[in-house]
A and B are shown apart, each in its own frame.
Chain A
């Protein structure tokens, strides 16, 4: 018993890192893989979201996965509503999102709505912190989130189907099947997610006065105008051409339709202030790669198309609902990238990439008739050299050179090292330093009014040191990571009020972000019971150094709004035979809503602590595995705030029934 306590305490005070292979939540066996480190990894701080977390949240969006499975800050405006992700205190626009190598952020807004990114068809989700993101992209001063798909050439036939029915009129269907042989594989996914989302809540921000007593009566209201529908499909094709060449094609097409709920202080006409958003997107990539001895070459082409419309409607007497705002955003991006790699030996290699991306964007408000139409061409070059210098020391240097519309951006250098401290525990010290640049987005330059074509790129000097280790004992497997970072971001692009009265994009503030990150992943196996403990913690002090260049500015030296100092995420999973209990706890410390960090009782975003639990049971019927899972969100049925004046749901339930069939090649 004493050992158990010691083990648990160890788990709770330590943290995790590595990709865990547990493709099937319904199977018992969980095998941590402590892979050999790649030369590319020198100085790189990344985590792969544990496949356990992905599988447990297969019916949710990327925002849910990241809030429940990492310590990055997810700002969500409610269930199914707009959400963004900030890493290391940088703004949401400094978080890159890559899907099979191409950016899926809007080149106009510069952010991705993480609530619209389904994860059921993702084979791997990884987070690259700070300068580590330069391995894949430039400009991500906070970091990047990478979503990847890959083929299992051992597969002959796989079919998985999940049906979900839950509170507030929620219906979900996910179907994915794969077929192939050792030379060809294809996977098709279809998803549908609808919710009326009309949960009831006690509205404490509006009150009626009881005429008899004078006391307040807080009305119980429905979260009206908050329904959402997201559906789409993914297609993947993988082919081996000869022994040296691989071809892959990935397509993702999606449509969504959402009503955007009003604040809970609203008491206006129910046929006014109606906000609707529709989005259509398609992303297609094709990649051909060839390995010939020491040389490998990869060529990727991709397109990303998105069409979004937003309407604000009000009832006008005699005319019905009229659009006060009807804006459409359309963009088309064409990506080309060639990647080459030359291995001098097993201990050193050189990589060189060239990328040309073409952007075409159009935004137009058909009521105000404002908008812009702009094109952009990016030419991006990358070269890196990695070398294992000694048995314990390896290093990597990297240089990126970007041209945006033929404007020369200063070179982006990166230096990273790994030093093996304890071989048995694969305990590494890692360090990296980089100077990264982030070019302004199209809205920041051309939005009407307030766009500023003279904006300079944001500049970030990013440094970090981390300690990473993995070790295994007979019944215990553990991986741990501890990182300290320091980021100096200047010329931040912010929308600020102008003399003319509209918002204007300007390079204005300098921000210093510093902090620590801690991850631990522990697996303990006792006979037929497997216990998993995952802990993620971030401390982020992100301070405005220069203020906004205005008189009596109280923002100087203050924490950035919506940046919690502490962020903790805890996951406990217990598997016993075919039964599973899965518990998550997400904690964010207090967030400020003003740049001056004013503390008022009225606008206080007190620490956010959310508990969720699920219970699962799997049944094997010959080759078919049936899974039953009941998810309970907001376990303690709490009234809470995530952002100001937005209604949040109480305890809610989701029943998931899954069927899985898999046949592997002999």
Chain B
């Protein structure tokens, strides 16, 4: 009888055998499609959740495929997808908090390689067929890599040796001639000038606090959008501003200041003809100010009226289709659910709305 008790007890135990099938996340039929033209949406995902993703929108057919990296490769993209750049037939997707860049086949989205061992990469800028720069939030340097091999071939020291505020966190990069211009956003106010032939930092320019994005116009002048910091910041807060930088003299030509101190502008973008700027304003105190704004490069004052009011949306990022100047604007909602993309014609007529991944923060257009 005693034996019966024990055998029954052990039977009970082993009946409770677990059935967590973790391999189901990898073992499924992968996406094998080839894709035409369209726009990639880089969804950051939540910090420390590792739920970043890529979406692909076919603008002609108005169809969207979400999670294309995962569905094609059976791998999560990583933690905080920051940006994406296309070089020839390869897409480089920068995964900030995973310290790596995935290289994808542009047509199949198959993962073909990766650049690893980075600190906190933000943006990727191709310089030549054998050289590219990677900006970095924490490395205090810009990595120089060979995009063909993915190997690091050097680095550009941007350290100002100021321990306070951990300056210079490098962000967006634009190239004009042989010089690369880099903005330093968080607790910083500098535009760095780098010689891409020598890979050396040659100069820096002070602009309005916290420059968060920048673009080159048709006159080869640099437009810099600064958010001015946050209230009671120990670094100080000033009103946000747009600065125009003459690259020939590397000096500020004009600065247009936002009059409302609660306005936080971001996502400066330029159209294909490089004569019209677009940006987002979010305003915590006067939500009716929030929306998408447009500014011609020859204007001398900032527009007062949004071309696309945000209503009850929290606009997070913006892009202009280089082919037809359609406006794409992302709503990240509460950051804890999938975001929406709103597509408008250049005259702001709604064209389409589609749902993407969590915190859509970047766009990358795939042309013919």
A binding-site residues for B, Cβ under 8 Å: 1, 4-5, 8, 204-207, 209, 216, 263-270, 272-273, 314-319, 322-324, 367-370, 448-449, 496-502, 526-527, 529, 531, 548-555, 561, 570, 572, 574, 576, 581, 583, 585, 593-596, 598, 600-604, 606-611, 613, 635-636, 638-641, 644-645
Contacts and interface: CB of A to CB of B under 8 A. Distances in A.
**Candidate in A323, A370, A600, A635 with the most chain B CB atoms within 10 angstroms:** A600
Q: Is the interface of B mostly helix, strand, loop or mixed?
A: loop
A274 to B, nearest CB: 11
B361 to A, nearest CB: 11
A555 B334 contact: yes
A602 B55 CA distance: 14
A561 to B, nearest CB: 7
Contacts of B22: 204, 606, 638-641
A644 B138 CA distance: 24
Contacts of B97: 263, 266, 273
Nearest to A574: B9
* 10 nearest A-B pairs in the assembled complex, by CB-CB distance: A268-B99, A645-B50, A596-B337, A499-B282, A369-B234, A499-B284, A272-B119, A265-B78, A267-B116, A595-B336
**Candidate in B19, B79, B157 with the most chain A CB atoms within 10 angstroms:** B79
Nearest to B70: A602
A263 B50 contact: yes
B307 to A, nearest CB: 18
A265 B114 CA distance: 13
Contacts of A216: 74-75
A342 B132 CA distance: 80
A314 B121 CA distance: 12
A531 B99 contact: no
**Candidate in A266, A268, A273 with the most chain B CB atoms within 10 angstroms:** A268
A98 to B, nearest CB: 30
Contacts of A501: 227, 264, 266, 282
Contacts of A500: 227, 230-231, 262, 264, 282, 284
B13 A613 contact: yes
Contacts of B358: 594
A452 to B, nearest CB: 11
Q: In which size bucket is the chain B interface? A: 35 or more
Given A638-B20, A645-B76, A269 B118 contact: yes
Contact of A268 (B5, B117, B266): B117
Contacts of A607: 20
Interface stretch (B122-130, B195-203, B298-306, B308-316): B308-316
**Candidate in B4, B13, B120, B336 with the most chain A CB atoms within 10 angstroms:** B336
A265 B96 CA distance: 11
Nearest to A317: B141
A267 B138 contact: no
A610 B79 CA distance: 27
Interface of B: 1-2, 4-6, 8-9, 12-13, 16-26, 28, 48-51, 53, 67, 70, 74-79, 95, 97-100, 111-114, 116-120, 138-141, 155, 157, 159, 163-166, 187, 227, 230-235, 262, 264, 266, 282-284, 287, 290, 311-314, 331-338, 340, 358
A315 B119 contact: yes
Contacts of B18: 609-611, 635-636, 638
Given A499-B314, A531-B5, A606-B21, A368 B334 contact: no
Contacts of B332: 497
A561 B337 CA distance: 10
Given A268-B120, A501-B264, A550-B333, A572 B13 contact: yes
A601 B5 contact: no
A207 B112 CA distance: 11
A318 B139 CA distance: 11
Contact of B166 (A8, A207, A267, A367): A367
B166 A265 contact: no
